[in-house]
Amino acid sequence: MKALTTRAALAALSVLVAVFAIPARAQDSVTLYGVVDAYGQYVSGSSHLYRLQSGGTGGSRFGLRGQEDLGDGLYAVFVLESGINIDDGTNAQNAFWGRQAYVGLRSKTWGQLTLGRQYSSLFYATTDFSEFSNLPAGPSTGVIGGFAGYEPVRGATDSAAGNGGPIRVNNSGRYESPEWNGLRGGVLVGLGEVSGGTRENRLLDLWGHYGAGRVTLTLSVLDDKGGPIKADAARRTTTIAATYAFDRWRAVGGYLNVNDRSEADQDGSGWWLGADYRFGAQRVKVQYVQSKPKYLADAKTQAFGVGWEYSLSKRATLYSSLTRFKNDSHAGTGRASFALPAGVATSSDNDITELSGGLRFTF
């Protein structure tokens, strides 16, 4: 009996060794990861609103990320990522793998080439270089847009990318160069897939990124021929953003310009400036954001807000923010980082105050 027990224990041990040794030996892996983020929101305009929302400081999601070592420094990689609305359990991007879905090859020498539904450089410029990301809570870069209905940051319904673009691009090929002295760049092409018109509904994205020491810079140029605009016209979005870090302080800022090259010629621009300070498990932050249609007078939106975060653990973080959105007289019923429900503001009373507080858990 004792010998049988010993053999069973040795067999179980050999299985565990085999399971954990194979990924280590072959350098292959599949990782489950995600973010669960929910927050309460109070909105005060011409009327008041209380509600529970999803994704205040990190879009709620779960995903699978994997790689396989093919030898000679070459890896096969993939990502499948699904957005979730925590408040009601629905898909956040109207598709199960709506956040990202791609497969490709990566080499330290030659860079990375991937195919599928992918982030454009505009997503990273308005997320990584903003104190409040590009999400609904607080004075985020989500304020910028709405230029004749075009939403470069939130995602335009008449974009070539569709279903969340132009920050997420369908039917796309993306190449990113290896890093050289802190400098890297890349190109993304979203195929329009229109018969007889290779230029129709096409999206082209070029970017450069530099990071060394305390300074990080990015430049993004995105040419969108989507939706009802003609094949010989497009909305070109140019974004430049930077961060500067010193000790516990960090400053961020950026400028975004939309050049509407269709016959309507309805341009717009926006900019933001923010800073944060870390002490212990806490972080305080502040940011100002402006959005301005160039084809309308007195239609500017300004947002100013403060935020606080407290790390309960490595994975769990409490957060809150207080934001004031000031809308000019010709800004209609107003604009904020989030889509305004009907009745919250009117054309004659369109300034908005938002208070939010929530919990983010990452895994």
Write the CATH number for 98.
2.40.160.10
Residue 314 lies in a domain: yes
Helices (H) and strands (E) in the chain, counts: 2, 17
Residue 15 lies in a domain: no
pLDDT at 23: 45
Residue 14 lies in a domain: no
pLDDT at 306: 98
Residue 12 lies in a domain: no
In DSSP terms, 184 is beta-bridged to 209
pLDDT of 247-287, one tens digit each?
Answer: 999 999 999 999 998 888 899 999 999 999 999 999 999 99
> How does DSSP classify residue 88?
T
Residue 4 lies in a domain: no
Domain of 96 in residue numbering reads as: 28-362
pLDDT beneath 70: ranges in the chain: 1-27, 156-165, 193-200, 227-233
pLDDT at 155: 83
pLDDT at 196: 59
Closest CA to 286 of 312, 240, 322, 337: 322
pLDDT at 363: 97
Residue 5 lies in a domain: no
pLDDT at 251: 98
pLDDT at 200: 65
Q: What is the spatial distance between Cα 3 and Cα 18, in angstroms, rounded to a whole number?
A: 22
pLDDT of 203-240, one tens digit each?
Answer: 899 999 999 999 999 999 999 887 655 656 689 999 99
* pTM, full prediction: 0.88
The amino acid that residue 118 corresponds to is Q
Residue 22 lies in a domain: no
Residues found in the chain: 363
Beta-strand relationship, 183-190 and 168-176: antiparallel
DSSP 24-63: HHHT-EEEEEEEEEEEEEEEESSSEEEEEEE-SSS--EEE
Number of domains in the chain: 1
Are 339 and 298 in contact, with CB atoms under 8 Å apart?
no
DSSP 197-253: -TTTT-EEEEEEEEEETTEEEEEEEEEE--TTS-TT--EEEEEEEEEEEETTEEEEE
Q: What is the spatial distance between Cα 111 and Cα 178, in angstroms, rounded to a whole number?
A: 4
Q: What is the spatial distance between Cα 20 and Cα 12, in angstroms, rounded to a whole number?
A: 13
Are 327 and 338 in contact, with CB atoms under 8 Å apart?
no
Q: What is the spatial distance between Cα 302 and Cα 325, in angstroms, rounded to a whole number?
A: 6
Residue 59 lies in a domain: yes
